[in-house]
């Protein structure tokens, strides 16, 4: 048994039982409102009685903290390599929503020792025990770091706008995902949100166009979660670094987030799906990185 296989077995034993839902929010390009959607969905879920944590996996840009105007003192690297406790890297946000900054830590997963892997999985398991939903806000585009998170996820929200570049880039992401080693289309639920659309009809049309192409050429099931309308109040809220669900709860976009959240929760209740939490997500990431590292040597 080689070292990588031995470490994989250790992770399987260390991974605690969990039924925490992890939703990974992604997009084919930047500037489509992905981070705003992550934050506002988290706030709406919290209002509906869920314990929610947002994980900022947009390395280098730290969009979550910019959007909220809150700068965390520590990030995942401090948990992984500096022995910090989980509480130290969790930052309190609005409406009982907490968030964790990924920093550069996740990019170093393949370099972790056996003891560091065990510690990380154990600590993430502790987070899972006190959380109902974890929303992962990825970087934009089709970089390896984005695709690795999507491949490791059980549930993905794909954000697209009516702009031609957004549609093409969203399709490019799914195409790259389809070619990525380890991706199992039957085990990953991908759902689309149409953002910044002028009407329900425009959002439905955007989804149908995307769905036809994705089904025809990639054979990936794509569900539809609804729209977030074009809303001037949303832009103002972003500039003020206060989520629209907090600053203007009666705004059209805030009401849309409420509707999408209800739909997401209803879909989960109907499917009665078992979830693995952030500890399983990171176990999947570590396994993939170890496999890639072994293949390149």
d(CA 90, CA 169): 32
- The HSE-up count of residue 293 (CA atoms within 13 Å, CB side) is 15
In this prediction, residue 243 carries a pLDDT of 96
CB 172 within 8 Å of CB 205: no
In this prediction, residue 270 carries a pLDDT of 59
Range of lowest pLDDT (81-85, 112-116, 145-149): 112-116
Q: Once rounded to an integer, what is the mean pLDDT over residues 142-146?
A: 83
Higher pLDDT, 223 or 103: 223
Q: Mean pLDDT: which of 7-21, 120-134, 138-152 is highest?
A: 120-134
d(CA 118, CA 206): 44
> Is the confidence at residue 13, as pLDDT, over 60?
no
In this prediction, residue 251 carries a pLDDT of 97
Q: Which of 58, 64, 60, 20 is nearest to 41 (CA)?
A: 64
What does pTM read for this prediction? 0.90
According to DSSP, residue 139 is labeled P
CB 35 within 8 Å of CB 180: no
Residue ranges of alpha helices (H) inside the chain are: 3-14, 34-47, 63-68, 76-81, 86-89, 114-129, 144-152, 164-179, 200-217, 232-240, 244-247, 252-271, 277-296
> pLDDT grade, residue 279 (50/70/90)?
confident
> Is the confidence at residue 61, as pLDDT, over 70?
no
Instruction: Encode pLDDT of 173-212 as tens digits.
Output: 999 999 998 888 888 999 999 999 999 999 999 999 999 9
Higher pLDDT, 263 or 276: 263
Q: Which of 164, 249, 277 is nearest to 210 (CA)?
A: 164
Q: Once rounded to an integer, what is the mean pLDDT over residues 165-178?
A: 94
């Amino acid at each position: 048994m080689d070292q990588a296989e031995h470490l994989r077995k250790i992770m399987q034993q260390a991974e605690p039982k969990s039924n925490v839902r992890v939703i990974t929010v992604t997009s084919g390009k930047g500037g489509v409102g992905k981070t705003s959607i992550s934050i506002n969905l988290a706030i709406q879920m919290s209002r509906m009685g869920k314990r929610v944590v947002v994980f900022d996996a947009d390395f280098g840009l730290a969009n979550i903290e910019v959007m909220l105007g809150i700068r965390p003192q520590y990030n995942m690297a401090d948990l992984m390599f500096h022995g910090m406790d989980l509480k130290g890297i969790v930052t309190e946000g609005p409406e009982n929503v907490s968030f964790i900054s990924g920093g550069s830590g996740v990019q170093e997963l393949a370099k972790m020792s056996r003891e560091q892997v065990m510690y990380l999985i154990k600590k993430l398991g502790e987070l899972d025990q006190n959380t109902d939903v974890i929303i992962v806000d990825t970087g934009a585009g089709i970089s390896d770091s984005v695709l690795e998170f999507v491949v490791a996820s059980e549930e993905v929200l794909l954000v697209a706008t009516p702009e031609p570049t957004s549609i093409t880039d969203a399709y490019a992401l799914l195409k790259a995902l389809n070619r990525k080693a380890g991706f199992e289309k039957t085990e990953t639920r991908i759902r689309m949100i149409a953002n910044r659309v002028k009407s329900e009809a425009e959002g439905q049309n955007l989804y149908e166009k995307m769905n036809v192409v994705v089904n025809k050429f990639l054979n990936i099931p794509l569900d539809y979660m609804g729209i977030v309308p074009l809303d001037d109040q949303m832009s103002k809220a972003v500039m003020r670094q206060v989520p629209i669900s907090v600053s203007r709860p009666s705004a059209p976009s805030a009401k849309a987030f409420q509707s999408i959240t209800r739909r997401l929760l209803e879909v989960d209740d109907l499917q009665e799906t078992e979830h693995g939490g952030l500890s399983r997500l990171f176990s999947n990431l570590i396994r993939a990185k170890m496999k890639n590292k072994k293949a390149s040597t």
